[in-house]
Each structure stands twice: as C-alpha cells, then as structure tokens.
Amino acid sequence: MIVMKRRSNLYGKMHESSTTTSSSTSIEEEIDCELRPGGMLVQKRSEKKDVSAPNLRLRIAFGALRYEISVNSLATFGDLKKLLTVETGLQPGEQRVIFRGKERENGEYLDMCAVKDRSKVILMEDPSSIERRFIELRRNAKIQSAHRAISNVSMEVDKLADQVSFPLIN
C-alpha cells in the first residue's frame, strides 16, 4: 500500500507535500493508492457509499429478448446478474455475461471494464444448466405418466366396485 499526502488550502487548491508552510489555513489528508498490474498508480476504491455514482442504462440481449436495465456504475457483474434474475428467471449461477467479446466474472467492476451508458451486454444461459433442466423435465414427465396410469387404474377399480357393490338392506 502506498500512501500519498495531499494538502488543500482554504480555497480548495491542491498542493503536493511541500517543505514550506504558508500562513493560510491548509487541510492535510492521506490518500491510499495501489499499484495496478500494468504499473499504473491509482487511488484505491473507498467503500464509502455516501458519494453517489451515476447510474448506467445497459442494453441486455438474451436470445431474441431485449432488456434495458439501470445499474450503478460502481456495481459488479455479479450485481448485474442479480438484477437480471428478476427479469429472466435465471439464477446468477445459470447466467453467463459477455461484454466486448469476453465472459465477465462476478467480481469484475463495470467501470473497470469500461462499461458506459447504453452499452450492450449479452446474456447467455449456462449450457450445464440447460442440460440439468432437460434432465429434470424428463424425470418429471416420467413421474406424471406414472401418476396418470395410477389414476386411470383407480378410476377403473371405482367403476368395477360400483358394479359389484350390493345394496344395503335396512
């Protein structure tokens, strides 16, 4: 972690740390910075939610369906998947989000991947979830056909019981 010191005077002008002090009132603050893999020194993200970030309107393509979703620019792709769960009915684990030709992971931030307002994001269903759903549908179809067969036999037994039953004599 790299810490830089920055001073601002009463009028908001910034100065790097200097050796001379002026007679005007100055406020000194520490800024946490981090070194990115590319060698760029950037200010660390703050977890403070008091600063509101702009919302982005994203165009979502899911097969033949199109959605427009508003999301915070500091959100992650995982947050986007949670919002898409309401629209599509797919759980976040069943979704694959593709932006600029790459599948994005849940922890990646939208602003770090250069997602802008009105950007297009492609949503795909995970192939393994399609297969699981198909297997479940086949199993349910077998259960339903067995239930229908039992119901038909039960109806036949009821018809035969009506024919065989003897009237009660009082």
pLDDT digits (tens, 9 = 90+) for 25-57: 556 667 788 888 888 888 877 666 555 778 889
**What are the boundaries of each domain within the chain?**
2-17+26-43, 55-128
pLDDT above 90 for 24: no
What is the architecture, at CATH level 2, of domain 55-128? Roll (3.10)
Q: pLDDT of 74-122, one tens digit each? A: 899 999 999 999 988 889 989 999 999 999 999 999 988 989 999 999 9
Token pair for 154:
């039960």
pLDDT above 50 for 20: no
Report field, pTM of the whole predicted structure over 0.75: no
pLDDT above 80 for 3: no
In three-state secondary structure terms, 167 is: coil
Burial class (CB in 10 A: 0-12, 13-18, 19+), 72: middle
pLDDT above 60 for 159: yes
* 58-62: Cβ within 8 A, 24+ apart: 58/115, 58/118, 58/119, 58/120, 58/121, 59/118, 59/119, 59/120, 59/121, 60/84, 60/87, 60/120, 60/121, 60/122, 60/123, 61/120, 61/121, 61/122, 61/123, 62/88, 62/122, 62/123, 62/124
pLDDT above 90 for 167: no
pLDDT at residue 130, rounded to an integer? 79
